[in-house]
Amino acid sequence: MIMKMFAIPFALVVSMSAIDLAAQELNFPMPKKEHEWLDQFTGEWDSMSKSVATANYPAMQCSGTLKSRMVGGFWVLNEMTVDTGGLQVIGIQTIGYSEEKKKYVGTWIDSMTNHMWK
């Protein structure tokens, strides 16, 4: 039993070291200044908004949250949840910098559509 308690953490350390060495040997890219710039958009926010009534739709109040985090130093992952008074909408956005295209790129999906925006 005591041997198992030490063997499992030891195996994890050895495995992580092997993964780190493999990554160095494969020469994975490192984030550039354009990727680091995206870090300013990480965090968590709450929102509250109200739409204006029109001839066809009444005024509506919405509340939501946005959680943004970096993925691997290259991408910002934004997870949005909005409650529009009975209808919950979930959206996921990715934003990163394409060194090949020399511009920022991204995707958007949400629970209201069946299309991925690029």
- pLDDT tens for 57-97 read 888 899 999 999 999 999 999 999 999 878 899 999 999 99
Q: Residue 36 pLDDT > 70, yes or no? A: yes
Q: What is the pLDDT of residue 57?
A: 86
Q: 3-19: buried (b, 16+ CB within 10 Å) or exposed (e) per residue?
A: eeeeeeeeeeeeeeeee
pTM: 0.71
DSSP code of residue 114: S
Give residue 27's pLDDT band: very low, low, confident or very high (50, 70, 90).
confident
State phi, psi for 36 to the nearest 5 degrees: -60, -30
